Homo-oligomer: A and B are copies of this chain.
Amino acid sequence: MFGPIKRDPTSVYEQVLKQLTAAIMHGDLKPGDKLPSERSLAEMMGVSRTSLREALKMLAAAGMVNIKHGQGVFISEKGSPFNVLIKFAGKVNIDDDTVRDLFELRKLLETQNAVWACQRAENSVIDNLSEIVEQTLNSLNDTKDDLVILARQDSEFHTKLAEATGNKVIVRVMHDLLDLLNDVRCQTLSIPDRPLKSLNEHKEIVEALKSRSVDLVKEKMLVHLNNVEAELLKNR
């Protein structure tokens, strides 16, 4: 799968980059797959470890791979070759103004997502969303694990909603936008009260979707996002 690198026109790390992205795009490397170790992969390609590492760092910056110290390098979930919202998770300080800008974008995208989902989604998709919410409500049992469950539910809810629009580009943008905001949230102290409120607001959004009322869906989503933003900005 990894032939030797031709040492012709462009630089070595660019060639490595090209070969790796090609492997990902062609499907030889699927999301979740683990790459060979840096040492062996470098040897396979006939390049130095340094050059390989620089290419890997670029892929990591683009969100296409996930580098874990002591474990290995993994292909990112949904690692799309284009329209990746690049971020340096936890490596950039994001000020309040930027958070507001991000939320303004998010409100624009997600209210429209909700509308499109309302107009386009099959009943089964909405039922699936409903199940996610109900399932989370039932699995809560006052343990400290609840926060983890609620965080995952939140991410899953908004992702599923984006998928319900049928627009794959938007799914990708939303995914990365949520990731970025999640990192921001993790930089602050955890908020034990907010997640449960969110879950209830999610429930209201689902109910609005079931009623197929565009205006109601839009309103519920906007209220939800405003609350999340306010809570996040308060604890910084």
Binding site for B on A (CB under 8 A): 10-11, 13-14, 17-18, 21-22, 25, 50, 53-55, 57-64, 69, 81-94, 98, 101-102, 104-105, 108-109, 112, 167-170, 173, 180
Contact = CB atoms under 8 A, between A and B. Distances in A.
9 contacts: A10-B90, A21-B89, A21-B92, A54-B54, A81-B89, A82-B87, A82-B92, A104-B167, A108-B112
A82 B94 contact: yes
Q: Is the interface of A mostly helix, strand, loop or mixed?
A: helix
Given A57-B58, A58-B60, A82-B94, 14 more contacts: A14-B90, A21-B92, A25-B92, A55-B57, A58-B58, A61-B61, A62-B62, A81-B87, A81-B89, A82-B87, A84-B173, A102-B169, A104-B167, A108-B108
A25 to B, nearest CB: 7
B84 A83 contact: yes
A105 B62 contact: no
